[in-house]
Amino acid sequence: MATCSWLRSCGAPRYPLVRPRRRLLPRPDCWASGRAPLRTYAPGPGGLPAALLRKDSFVGGRWLPAATAFPVLDPASGAELGCVADCGATEARGAVDTAYKAFCSWRGVSAKERSSLLRKWYDLMIRNKDDLAKIITAESGKPLKEAQGEILYSAFFLEWFSEEARRVYGDVICTPTKEKRALVLKQPVGVAAVITPWNFPSAMITRKVGAALAAGCTVVVKPAEDTPFSALALAELANQAGIPPGVYNVIPCSQRKAKDVGEALCTHPLVSKISFTGSTATGKILLHHAANSVKRVSMELGGHAPFIVFDSADVDQAVAGAMASKFRNSGQTCVCSNRFLVQRGIHDSFVKKFAEAIKTNLHVGNGFEERTTQGPLINEKAVEKVEKHVSDALSKGATVVTGGKRHQLGKNFFEPTLLSNVTQNMLCSHEETFGPLAPVIKFDTEEEAVAMANAADVGLAGYFYSQDPAQIWRVAEQLEVGMVGVNEGLISSVECPFGGMKQSGLGREGSKYGIDEYLELKYVCFGGL
């Protein structure tokens, strides 16, 4: 679950935010159940955009209600933002059937036309970027400036794959005999089931769907139950762009039905491809379901990113990179640095400057508030995990440098926290925290640091800072991760392949390689010539 290099231009981690101006009254239906004031989140001009706030599923180009609905909550205040259709396995199977019917015609649409439609979708995202960002901030708590960066990142995937749609090339292979010709064709795999997370509710959709549609596939999207409004807003814009009915479908569901819906998508005989971003544990369950019918699978799973600072590093540069990598989205990304390995000679200086930067630059608050750089965590369960990791570390000898407890703003807020004297036997050293916790581990040699970094069973991203060219080559090649940031804390870009090694997943997204995940190779032997 990534973010983009465009956040650099936003001045991360100091984000000057745009405050919504007007507060409107709640609607009389599902909006504002009385749990908490909606503040600036009420739908309509000046608040959340009513035209993009859809609450039904989107299947076959139509908005379809479900028998029941589930509430979507603002993690900052606990307010109920709205009720969304709670689809089940039956609706999921129906969406797949619809997507397959659409695939039978969509696969025959010219690459140029698919490219044009994706470009129109991109243009609409750019035109509505501010409203889309407000939706992300309301349902995920992400600071508005970060949400705006995500929307740009999301749109750029549609732009990128609109161009890649026209660059799906086959091959002609020379055969040993002159009577034969050998061809290699690339064809769309079919219906793709796309299951996405809450921390990047827009970008994780377009990164997958852009590639799928460019290849000629159709999709059924199951968004995270915490953030369905972003997926439905994208459906509204896809419809406006002229994406044919059934090509892009969205079936939101509650946590209670997520297991059944996921199983229905992974076992449906008309689904040819599963794309999932989320935890390693859930990914393994989906892999098991997909294995029974040998479906194509690509997965971006959990991470445990090391951030190594060698004695030769520029300390100020390393601290800036640590801030950008660790505290983006309050530490809730799979490529966030999760453990900081700092060489003994530079350790004290790094910890001191890191603590100063945290205290000076990070401001906890509601995502719509101007000074906020750290919004709430997605829910109280996420906060409890951070608390558990901090408590465990302190019980085993770690020291709090700054932070260390829940923030006074509310139950879903946690102080940006820096721990020193961390050791390998602590939970935060071998489990992904997914929160604003930065544990620092001291090391002596390069070999020791690489061994600690590679000890994890996951390998999504890794970062290190060094001014030694030979060391840079050695460590970059030895780290067992799919993506490496060398003297850089923000590494994601639509042009570059995103994915991991070991239990961090299968396949790659984005880049010229991303479209291959949705294409089958077919060998054609033409004889009798």
Range list of β-strands (E), 235-286: 248-250, 271-277
Please write the tens of the pLDDT for every residue from 327-344: 999 999 999 999 999 999
Beta partners for residue 297, in sequence order: 274
**pLDDT confidence band for 10 (50 / 70 / 90):** very low
The closest of 87, 66, 412 to 223, measured between CA atoms, is: 87
How much of the chain, in percent, has pLDDT values that exceed 70? 91
SS3 378: coil
Q: Known catalytic residues?
A: 300, 334
Please write the tens of the pLDDT for every residue from 374-389: 999 999 999 999 999 9
Q: Which CATH number fits domain 305-493: 3.40.250.10, 3.90.1150.10, 3.40.309.10, 3.60.150.10?
A: 3.40.309.10
Q: Which of 19-28, 51-60, 146-155, 175-184 has the lowest mean pLDDT?
A: 19-28
Please write the tens of the pLDDT for every residue from 261-271: 999 999 999 99
Q: What is the pLDDT of residue 320?
A: 97
Q: What is the pLDDT of residue 402?
A: 97
Mean pLDDT of 131-137: 97
Q: Please say if the pLDDT value at position 126 is more than 70.
A: yes
Q: What is the pLDDT of residue 368?
A: 95
Angstrom CA distances, 50 to 133, 135, 155, 229, 241, stand at: 14, 10, 21, 11, 18
**pLDDT confidence band for 300 (50 / 70 / 90):** very high
Please write the tens of the pLDDT for every residue from 82-122: 999 999 999 999 999 999 999 999 999 999 999 999 999 99
Q: What is the pLDDT of residue 35?
A: 35
Residue that wins the pLDDT comparison between 36 and 68 = 68
Q: Please say if the pLDDT value at position 2 is more than 60.
A: no
Q: What is the pLDDT of residue 397?
A: 97
In the Cβ-directed half-sphere of 508, how many Cα atoms lie within 13 Å? Answer: 18
β-strand pairing of 501-502 with 458-459 = antiparallel
Q: Please say if the pLDDT value at position 427 is more than 50.
A: yes
Domains of the chain, by residue range, sit at 51-301+508-522, 305-493
Q: What is the pLDDT of residue 47?
A: 77
Mean residue pLDDT across the chain: 92
**pLDDT confidence band for 367 (50 / 70 / 90):** very high
Phi (first) and psi of residue 46, to 5 degrees: 90, -20
What CATH superfamily classification does 51-301+508-522 receive?
Answer: Aldehyde Dehydrogenase; Chain A, domain 1 (3.40.605.10)
β-strand pairing of 399-402 with 417-420 = antiparallel
User: What string of DSSP letters covers 173-208?
Assistant: E--SSTT-EEEEEEEE--EEEEE--SSSTTHHHHHH
Long-range contacts of 478-487 (CB under 8 A, 24+ apart): 478/450, 478/454, 479/306, 479/450, 479/453, 479/454, 480/453, 480/454, 481/305, 482/508, 483/335, 485/321, 485/325, 485/461, 487/313, 487/314, 487/317, 487/321
Mean pLDDT of 223-233: 98
